[in-house]
Amino acid sequence: MRNRGIGLPFLISLFLGFAAGAETPLLAQHEHHSPPPAPTPRPTEKPDPHARHATAKAEADRNLFQSDMALMAGMTPKDPMEGAARPGWLTHLMGLARLSYNDQGGPSGDEAVESSNWNMVMAQREVGPGRLTLMMMNSLEPATIPEEGSPHLFQTGESFEGRPLVDHQHEHDLFMNLSATYRLPLGSRGAAWIQLAPVGEPALGPTAFMHRASAGENPTSPLGHHWQDSTHISWNVATAGAGWGWFSLESSVFHGEEPDDDRWNIDGGSPDSISGRLAFRGGDGWSAQVSHGYLHEPEALEEGDTHRTIASIHYGAAGDRPFAATLLWGRNNEHHGTTDSFLLEGAYQLTPLDQIYGRAEYVEKDFELLLFKGDPHIAIEAPGIAEIGALTAGYLRDFDLAKDLKLGVGADLTIYSFASELEPAYGDFPVSAHVFLRLRWGRPHGGQHTGHGM
C-alpha cells in the first residue's frame, strides 16, 4: 500500500503558521545587510544612467537562495557581516517550507504528500575584540515527513526500526543546529574562530545541499548525501579555525554516529570523530574546499568506521549571481570497501521570478541492499557494487507575497540509469516527480550585499 504521508489540512495549517511568523519584522539588521548607497556625484558630474541600470539589474539577479551558515556565523577570514560595530544584538531570520506531492515510480517507488522545512534564527553582537554569534536551526519534518522517510528511489543511509532505510530519505531532526561562535579578526584580511555546538556541522564537506545556492530550491537530497554532506547534523561539535585572505583551515571533533529514530530529541554522545577542511574563497564568485574525516561507527546497523574524503568546486556560492553551480566528489572508505560519488548541479535565474535547476549524479552503492532492501534473512558477506546514475531537471516560479516573503510553485523530474540486474526491484525505466508549493521568508545573502568581500 502506498503511504501518502501526512494529511493535507495539517500541512496547510502548518504553512499558514510559518507565513504568520515570517511577517514578524526583524529586530535589527546589520549595516552590511543592505547594499551601500551609491556615491553622490560631484557637482560637475552627471549621474551615469548606465551605472544605475547595471546596479538595478545586479540587485534583481541576486535571487538564488542560500544560507551558508559558515558565512552567517563568521567562520571565514572575511565575511559579509564584517564591518562597523553596532551596540546590542543584531538578529536575522530566514527559512523555507514546501508542500509537495512526491511520486517515485517503479516497483520500489512510493508516493506521499509531505513537507520539507527549516527555520533559522541568528543573533550576534560585539564582545570584547571579537564577535559572538548564536544560531538555532529547527525543522518540523518529524511531523511532516512519513516516519520511514520521504520516498526517494535508490537513496540509502541511516535506519528505521532496526532496518536500513532504502528508497527513502530520512527526515531532519527538530534541532538541526544549536551553536555559539566567537570570531576574532586578525588584521584587515584574516580571522580566527571557535565554535561549540550541541548540534552542529563539523568541518567536513561543502555547505549542505539544502543551503547551497546551486540546489536551494531543489526538494530532493542527492543520492550521494551520505558520501558528501550528511554530517551537517552532528552531535557535540567543537570547531577551531583560522584564515587569511582567500584561504582558511579548520578542524572539528564531534560524535560521529548518525541520528537515531527519535527525531525530536538531541542524541548527544561523546566526541569520537575528527575532521579537517581547507577552504578557498576567490574572486569572481569562485570557491572550493577539500576535507577529510574519520567517523567512528556512523551507521547504527553496520559495524566499522568510515574514512570520508570530499572535494568540491563552487561558482556563485554566495547567491549573488544569476548562476550557481557545484561540482562535488565524495569517497567513503569502509571496512567492506571503497565507494565514490560524483555530483554536478546548478541553478540559473532566468528572471527575478523564474529559476531552472538541475542535477546529474553518479553513485556507487551496495547492490544487494538495493535489491533485497536489507532483508535480515539474506546474509551477504561481500556486497557487490551497483553503479547508479540520476538526472534531474526542474523549474520554479516565484511570487512576492510581502516584504521578504515569497511563494514559489515548482516541479521537477528525475530519470535513472542502473544495471539490468536491478530491474526486478526498480523496473526498466522508473521516473520520479515532485510538484510543490514553497514559502520562503527572510533575505538570502545575495539580496543583502554586493559580495562576500574575499
In this structure, what CATH number is given to the domain that contains residue 22?
A: 2.40.160.10
Instruction: Specify the pLDDT at position 41.
Output: 43
Q: Which three cell numbers stand for residue 306?
A: 568510515
Identify the bridge partners of residue 94 per DSSP, sorted by sequence position.
120
Give the Cα separation of 285 and 61 in Å (integer): 14
Q: What is the pLDDT of residues 83-108, one digit of tens each?
A: 445 678 988 899 999 999 999 999 99
Q: Is residue 303 part of a domain?
A: yes
Give the Cα separation of 203 and 279 in Å (integer): 10
Q: Is residue 3 part of a domain?
A: no
Total of domains in the chain: 1
Q: Is residue 188 part of a domain?
A: yes
Q: Is residue 453 part of a domain?
A: no
Identify the bridge partners of residue 96 per DSSP, sorted by sequence position.
118, 440
Instruction: Specify the pLDDT at position 120.
Output: 93
Instruction: Specify the pLDDT at position 57.
Output: 46
Question: Containing H/E element for 141?
Answer: helix 141-144
The boundaries of the domain holding residue 247 are 8-447
Give the Cα separation of 117 and 138 in Å (integer): 9
pLDDT tens for the chain, 454 residues long, are 334 344 434 333 433 343 333 333 322 323 333 333 444 444 444 445 444 444 444 444 456 776 677 777 778 776 645 544 567 898 889 999 999 999 999 999 999 999 999 999 999 999 999 999 999 999 999 999 998 899 999 999 888 888 889 999 999 999 999 999 999 999 888 999 999 999 999 999 999 999 999 998 999 999 999 999 999 999 999 999 999 999 999 999 999 998 888 889 888 899 999 999 999 998 888 999 999 999 999 887 788 899 999 999 999 887 778 999 999 999 999 988 999 999 999 999 999 899 999 999 999 999 999 999 877 666 666 568 999 999 999 999 999 999 889 999 999 999 999 999 999 999 999 999 999 999 999 865 444 332 222 2
Question: Containing H/E element for 366?
Answer: strand 354-366
Q: Is residue 452 part of a domain?
A: no
Q: Is residue 53 part of a domain?
A: yes
Give the Cα separation of 62 and 450 in Å (integer): 9
Q: Is residue 329 part of a domain?
A: yes
Identify the bridge partners of residue 396 per DSSP, sorted by sequence position.
355, 410
Report the Cα–Cα distance between both ends of the chain, in Å, rounded. Answer: 53
Instruction: Specify the pLDDT at position 335.
Output: 87
Handedness of CA 157, 279, 346, 64 (dihedral sign): positive
Instruction: Specify the pLDDT at position 255.
Output: 96
Q: Which residues contact residue 423 at a Cβ distance below 8 angstroms, ignoring those fewer than 6 apart?
A: none
Q: Is residue 253 part of a domain?
A: yes
